[in-house]
Amino acid sequence: MASNEEILSGLAEIVNEETGLAPESVEMDKSFTDDLDIDSISMMTIVVNAEEKFGVRIPDEEVKNLKTVGDAVNFISGAQA
């Protein structure tokens, strides 16, 4: 079980690896598309890498609901519980 801070920092690493964005720019209230300029292909790569890293399953139909970094952190946290 990872804390929300741990999930956020792990997710920031994944986003950095995929997009080159600085990890500290990946904050809870940031929108993946509007703030971080992440396209759907990068988003799917991030999702799959997050699944492996956190040992969860994020269904495809759930991905569209993950609008902000916080949405993703909360979903992963809930899925781990």
User: Treating both helix axes as pointing N-terminal to C-terminal, what angle do 4-19 and 40-54 enclose, rounded to 10 degrees?
Assistant: 140
Of 2-10, 12-20, 23-31, 68-76: span binding another protein (CB under 8 A):
12-20
Count of CB atoms situated within 10 Å of the CB of 69 = 23
What is the C-alpha to C-alpha distance for residues 73 and 67, in angstroms, rounded to an integer?
A: 11
What is the C-alpha to C-alpha distance for residues 36 and 2, in angstroms, rounded to an integer?
A: 24
Total site size for another protein, rule CB under 8 A: 10
Min separation Cβ 71 and another protein, Å? 20
User: Which residue among 2, 9, 13, 18 contacts another protein (CB under 8 A)?
Assistant: 18
Q: Residues in the site for another protein, rule: CB under 8 A?
A: 18-20, 40-41, 44-45, 48, 51-52
